[in-house]
Structure 1
Amino acid sequence: MSASPQEILIIDNNEELIDVRLSGGIHYGPPPECPETEQDYCLIRIGVYQRLLQVQSSLPTGLFLRLYEGLRSLSVQSQLFDEELNRVRQRFPSFSDSDIHIETEKLVSSVRNHDGSINIPPHSTGGAVDVEIIDESGRAIDFGMEIKDWVNVAPELITPKPIGLSVQAAKNRLLLVTKMQESGFVLYEHEWWHFSYGDRYWAKKTGASHAIYGACINLTNTVS
């Protein structure tokens, strides 16, 4: 049996963070989820930034990659997990605490595992990104839903290949995942917009011996 992402070794290469708002080349949207994300959401590791630039250069003329969210602090991650935990508890009142935790983690990673051990969420490494493609007017192309509506749509619509997705939305999702994978990212199995490079999930999916990005809590250097 293969190791779970939480069991994968991390050897952080201490790569600096870069602020997309200052560096250019990649579009970004307003702060997502809650005001507390504003300080961090456009921060990503340099290696991730370079790969996003590759994705942008490979897109058809008139289409642009937009970063929805990059780095997320542990405190915000914990807040979002608790909010999703409450929603899951309401949807599945008969679930055990363990099952509720597992179900919640499909969409929001916890800073602690159910047994109390420390977990490092992908968004807290600077290696995970939520992205979409926009047109020249700045509007997201048809993906069947907008990322910001993830708490309001049917859970199956969030998955990469839901049943009943329109032909155009399916085509657009395939375009996004193809271009991201060509630049070294791996798609998260439960969210069509979430991709990883360098974190534990990436290491698990690619068979890498270890993750190269750990928690950014001690990374104080940011380049522009």
Structure 2
Amino acid sequence: MKPYQQIQITECGEPLVEIPLEKFAVESPHPYQLLGAPYQGRSPYHLRQGVLNRLLQAQTYLQQSHPQWRIQIFDAYRPIAVQRFMVDYAFSLVLQAEGLTVEQLSPDRQQALWQQVYQIWAIPSTDPKTPPPHSTGAAVDITLVDAAGMTVNMGSPIDEMSARSQPDYFANSADPVEQEYHERRQLLQDIMLKAEFTRHPGEWWHFSFGDQMWAWLSDRPVAQYGGIV
């Protein structure tokens, strides 16, 4: 169990709503749909209403300093079936990188590889007390798009399982390009914090409002969004 999962959830009942895609930049088709994730014909672009409202506010804050820039939504609400699919996919990538098969793994080695996966991916738990953040409709993975419509380089791709995913990875770099990566990550954080989100400690792209992680990071005793089946 991760520390934030000890936070109590008092579900507020706020609806999950479809994101108006014309207001943001998005990848189409959705990256996980391309991999075969089981969305069962539903749009992958949903959030809780209050989370969506704050995301729109964050984009307004962004455009105050960077006119015509937009937030690009990479991922939002994630059904448990999709969470399970992506966790298994991430594990297969780790195996591939190691040049191994499951049959070659000792129990200890297999456990170590799963721990590597769970540094980025939440366990696809069906326990209502420990929902994956994205399965609450309160978490969103995002980056930025510039005025020319180009995705801004943040120094590492979303979902990368490496130290570069750490938000402050480039903070102390003397390389001017890497300092620019850090400044862009800071810009993303600044607009999202202003809209009352919190950022995942280990992922520059992951922000949430109202879920257990948000409550834990903002020192609140209760989360308002639980898992949605």
The normalised TM-score by structure 1 is: 0.82
Q: Give the % identical residues.
A: 26
User: 2:155 is matched by which residue type in structure 1?
Assistant: G
1:125 maps to which of 133, 136, 140: 136
Contact 1:74–1:111 under 8 Å retained in 2: yes
Contact 1:28–1:42 under 8 Å retained in 2: no
Which consecutive residues of structure 2, in runs of 5 or more, have no partner in the other structure?
A: none
Contact 2:8–2:129 under 8 Å retained in 1: no
Does 2:46 align with 1:47? no
1:180-219 to 2 correspondence within 5 Å? 180-217=192-229
Deviation, structure 1 residue 69: 0.8
Count of residue pairs brought into register by the alignment: 208
Contact 2:9–2:129 under 8 Å retained in 1: no
1:69 maps to which of 61, 65, 75: 75
Does 2:18 align with 1:19? yes
Q: Give deviations 1:22-66, integer Å, cap 9, x for gaps.
A: 6x5333222122343572421001111111111111112121112
1:79 maps to which of 85, 95, 99: 85
Change over 3 Å in CA distance of 1:210–1:106 after alignment to 2: same
Contact 1:40–1:73 under 8 Å retained in 2: no
Change over 3 Å in CA distance of 1:112–1:133 after alignment to 2: same
Aligned counterparts of 1:33 and 1:167: Cα–Cα separation in 2: 30
User: 1:192 is matched by which residue type in structure 2?
Assistant: W
Aligned counterparts of 1:29 and 1:21: Cα–Cα separation in 2: 13
Which consecutive residues of structure 1, in runs of 5 or more, have no partner in the other structure?
A: 218-224
Contact 2:80–2:125 under 8 Å retained in 1: no
Could you say what secondary structure the match of 1:101 adopts? helix
Which residue is equivalent to 1:221? none
**RMSD of the alignment, in Å?**
2.6
